[in-house]
């Protein structure tokens, strides 16, 4: 918007400079004064009249009458020639134009232009894609609402858990940990909350499961041995300490529970293969950290309980756009209601090097209790590749969209095939 106003001001100044130059420039040619021309003609007639009298072409009476008429006309022309000029001052005209040109230009833009184009956030919101400001404001409202709740209400545990997952999606892990801690105070026997807290704690430790994250996961499995996320994180903790047999055990159990054909299930299979290779000594393990396929809530791993709404699919890139993408570009995958609020119901953040990406969107990624996938029968699924990594859509981003999709739906195939203007 700043660039627009700078360019607009420069164009207005250029127009004023051209107009002022034309007004202040002295004319190259001066047209003869009409009164002076008439006087010269009348004087010539007087001389001709005197010549006619001398040559006896007219008599004295005719000469006197004609001369009186010509002299009267000479007096009239002389009075006109000597009258002061009535043209307006050039300086006054210039001042008037200096004021009128910018005012007229601004008025015409207000009447005929597109004022919304000056506000990228408003334009992007109208486009239906979630912006960073949209998400931040929604999370801030949820946090404010939760802080106003009376302390100790068990029914608020879901709200605190949702706030924690929202902070985790924004990669604000300290705030996420605080929100999960508030939820655990109300429901300390929740295996899912213990797994979520272990996840964000590990992210604050550089994605290491050592210490507190491993203790929280072990506690979660004591409460619910079949908790999907706790099993996945337990496998990560075992792999990190190079206990490959235990990692295989936990990841095999998690794989049996994961939604079929989801990105999470695909990641578990890759992790299992790596753990089996490491256990058999067929290949060296390059890092003590868990395989990248087992990711955190912030990267989009589903932490929803079995039975919650979910939407799976695959995102791919049109071959003609492959040259415009680098491996570290950010891929945003999101779902929004086909009709109604334009805010995201769920959103994932991945990297372009993972394309094609199998994804699962579910209620665990919701930003508020009212904005869940399970609350809407028809949704639109979109994907966008950003070089800046900014959740706010930018010109030049690659994008694709599918839908409306009626839930429950079969596999959603989403193709990124256009460039954002």
Contacts of 195 (CB under 8 A, 6+ apart): 216, 217, 220, 227, 229, 230, 233, 303
Q: What architecture is domain 132-283+292-298?
A: Alpha Horseshoe (1.25)
Q: CA 385, 388, 390 angle in degrees (round to 5)?
A: 80
What's the average model confidence in pLDDT over 4-8? 66
Mean pLDDT of 77-100: 59
Q: What is the mean pLDDT of residues 287-306?
A: 43
Report the pLDDT value the prediction gives residue 194, as an integer from 0 to 100.
Answer: 92
Phi, psi of 131 (to 5 degrees): -105, 165
CA nearest to 180, candidates 234, 231, 229: 229
Q: What is the pLDDT of residues 167-226, one digit of tens each?
A: 887 778 898 899 899 889 888 888 899 999 999 898 888 888 889 999 999 999 999 888
pLDDT score recorded for residue 21: 64
Q: Which residues make Cβ contacts (< 8 Å) with residue 174, sequence separation at least 6?
A: 204
Q: What is the CATH number that goes with domain 310-419?
A: 2.60.40
Q: How confident is the model at residue 111, as a pLDDT?
A: 65
User: What pLDDT is recorded for position 89?
Assistant: 57
Structure confidence by residue, pLDDT tens digits, 232-284: 899 889 888 888 889 889 988 888 877 766 667 777 777 888 888 887 764 44
The top-scoring range by mean pLDDT among 38-42, 329-333, 374-378 is 329-333
Least confident stretch, 156-160, 220-224, 303-307, 390-394 = 303-307
71-81: average pLDDT: 67
Is the confidence at residue 353, as pLDDT, over 60? Answer: yes
Confidence band of 321 (pLDDT split at 50, 70, 90): confident
pLDDT at 83 over 90: no
Q: Are 357 and 315 in contact (CB under 8 A)?
A: yes
Q: What is the pLDDT of residue 148?
A: 83
- Contact (CB, 8 A) for 302 and 262: yes
Please check the confidence at residue 33 and state whether its pLDDT lies above 70: no
Residue 15 pLDDT exceeds 60: yes
Lowest model confidence (mean pLDDT) among 2-6, 41-45, 294-298: 294-298
* Spatial separation of the C-alpha atoms in residues 417 and 314, rounded to whole Å: 14
Q: What is the dihedral of CA 12, 13, 14, 15, to 10 degrees?
A: 50
């Amino acid at each position: 918007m700043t660039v627009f106003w700078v360019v607009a001001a420069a164009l207005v100044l250029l127009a004023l400079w051209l107009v002022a130059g034309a007004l202040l420039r002295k004319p190259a040619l001066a047209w003869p004064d009409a009164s002076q021309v008439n006087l010269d003609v009348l004087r010539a007639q007087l001389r001709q009249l005197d010549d006619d009298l001398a040559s006896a072409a007219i008599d004295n009476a005719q000469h006197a009458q004609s001369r009186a008429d010509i002299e009267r006309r000479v007096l009239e022309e002389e009075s006109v020639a000597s009258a002061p000029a009535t043209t307006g001052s050039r300086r006054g005209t210039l001042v008037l134009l200096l004021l009128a040109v910018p005012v007229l230009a601004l008025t015409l833009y207000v009447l005929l232009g597109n004022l919304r184009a000056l506000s990228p956030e408003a334009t992007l919101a109208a486009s239906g894609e979630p912006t960073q400001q949209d998400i931040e404001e929604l999370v801030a409202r949820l946090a404010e609402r939760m802080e106003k709740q009376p302390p100790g209400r068990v029914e608020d545990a879901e709200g605190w858990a949702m706030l924690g997952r929202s902070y985790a999606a924004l990669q604000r892990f300290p705030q996420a940990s605080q929100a999960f801690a508030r939820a655990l105070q109300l429901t300390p026997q929740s295996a899912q909350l213990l797994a979520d807290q272990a996840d964000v704690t590990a992210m604050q430790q550089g994605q290491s499961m050592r210490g507190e994250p491993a203790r929280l996961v072990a506690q979660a499995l004591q409460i619910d041995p079949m908790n999907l996320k706790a099993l996945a994180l337990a496998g990560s903790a075992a792999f990190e300490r190079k206990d490959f047999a235990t990692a295989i055990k936990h990841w095999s159990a998690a794989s049996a529970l994961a939604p079929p054909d989801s990105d999470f299930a695909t990641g578990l299979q890759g992790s299992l293969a790596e753990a089996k290779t490491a256990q058999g000594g067929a290949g060296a393990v390059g890092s003590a950290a868990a395989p990248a396929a087992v990711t955190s809530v912030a990267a989009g791993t589903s932490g929803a309980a079995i039975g919650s709404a979910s939407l799976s699919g695959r995102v791919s890139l049109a071959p003609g756009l492959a040259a415009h993408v680098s491996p570290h570009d950010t891929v945003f995958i999101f779902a929004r209601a086909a009709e109604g609020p334009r805010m995201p119901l769920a959103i994932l953040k991945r990297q372009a090097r993972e394309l094609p990406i199998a994804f699962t969107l579910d209620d665990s990624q919701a930003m508020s209790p009212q904005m869940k996938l399970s609350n809407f029968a028809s949704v639109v699924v979109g994907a966008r590749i950003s070089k800046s990594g900014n959740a706010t859509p930018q010109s030049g981003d690659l994008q694709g969209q599918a839908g409306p999709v009626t839930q429950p739906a079969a596999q959603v195939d989403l193709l990124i095939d256009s460039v954002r203007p």
